[in-house]
Structure 1
Amino acid sequence: MYYAILAYHTAGVVESWTEEEDAALMSDLLEVHDRFVQQKAFGPAARLGPTEGAVTLRGKGEGIVTDGPFAETKEQLLGLYVVDFPAIDAAVDAARELRRSNPTAIYEIRPIALYIPGATLDPGPQS
């Protein structure tokens, strides 16, 4: 079964990290990523840029582009992982492993259906 692990954090905290602190955190996370790769459970992952560079498209017809994210929240979506585990408990364990490297982050775990253009929707192995 495929799961999205969405990583959230308070923007002010992330922005306060020095380059060295950010590099150390990423080094720790890359070790976790390598373990997921060895388990053949790691799919696409992305670190998102700051919300200050984001735009939102909404409204009728072609829509209107506005600055920034849709919701004003203290926590912002920083990135996401797509993982393949037999059950949500294993995906939660994976998020806990990520959290050990970034203990002040919040991780949301959701089941997903993987979509590849031109291919049939395959929800992955069923638990």
Structure 2
Amino acid sequence: MTQIISRNIIREILGRWAQGALSAKDVHVWAEHHYQNDAFDFEDWEGEEENSVSNEVLAHLDMLDMNLLVPEDIPSYLAFLSTPRGSFDEGFSKLERYLGTVDIEARRVQLKGTSPYQPFCVKRR
């Protein structure tokens, strides 16, 4: 039987991370377990391209180490999770605009030696 991952479940995980009850590593492990796992599905598929806000956020959390996501990013993800059905493209555009403002080089320095980010904090040439 397929388990449904709702926006509220993801909000709860993000909230626990924001409060310090979960670490980045905890969130990453949770996302790795749930993302692209046939035992789980999402309640908010929409459009001809089959977009899902929940699936997209989970994909980002699955790559939080690689993309250097930190708790200060949580409000933007919560805003995206509040996107009304049928407005995926608009909500995703807002999230992408925010992510475009993140200083990745500064994060590499900030997170160097920190799990689970350390493999992605090596300066690229």
Q: Same fold (TM over 0.5)?
A: no
Q: When the two structures are superposed, what TM-score results if normalisation uses the length of structure 2? A: 0.26
Q: When the two structures are superposed, what TM-score results if normalisation uses the length of structure 1? A: 0.25
Q: Which has the higher helix share?
A: 2
Bigger radius of gyration among the two? 1
- Structure having greater relative contact order (Cα 8 Å, sep ≥ 6): 1
